[in-house]
Amino acid sequence: MVYLWLILLGFVAYTVFKRFYNPKYLKTLTQDDFIKGYRKAQLIDVREPREYDGGHILGARNIPMSQLRQRINEVRTDQPVYLYCQSGARSRQAAQLLKKKRGVEDLSHLQGGFKKWSGKIKKK
């Protein structure tokens, strides 16, 4: 029984670590730093279409995390990529996928995600 608890505890610790760990290749930017650079980058919203349609950062392209594997070739490797989602978890996942499968080097994401964004937005 003790082993079962240790395995469960290990799984929970690993899950929490993976959710909040920020890899070295991914820059976490404050809103001010994000605003300074996103116009010169590929701005990608990895939230689902209904979230995107409810409001998104002006100029963002919607490539949902659920579709990123199929649409990965839409992301250029020669330009910086600025990612965001609702809170930051999916944008971290997207960065990992873009680094591993596409070789993207210049990856940044918005600290706190869209829920912390107070800049200009567009609604559909």
Residues with active-site annotation:
85
With vertex at residue 61, the alpha carbon angle to CA 16 and CA 15, rounded to the nearest 5 degrees, is 10
Q: Give the separation between CA 76 and CA 11, rounded to whole angstroms.
A: 35
- Would you say how long the chain is, in residues? 124
User: Tokens 């993207």 belong to which residue?
Assistant: 104
Whether the CB-CB separation of 91 and 85 falls below 8 Å is answered with yes
Whether the CB-CB separation of 73 and 90 falls below 8 Å is answered with no
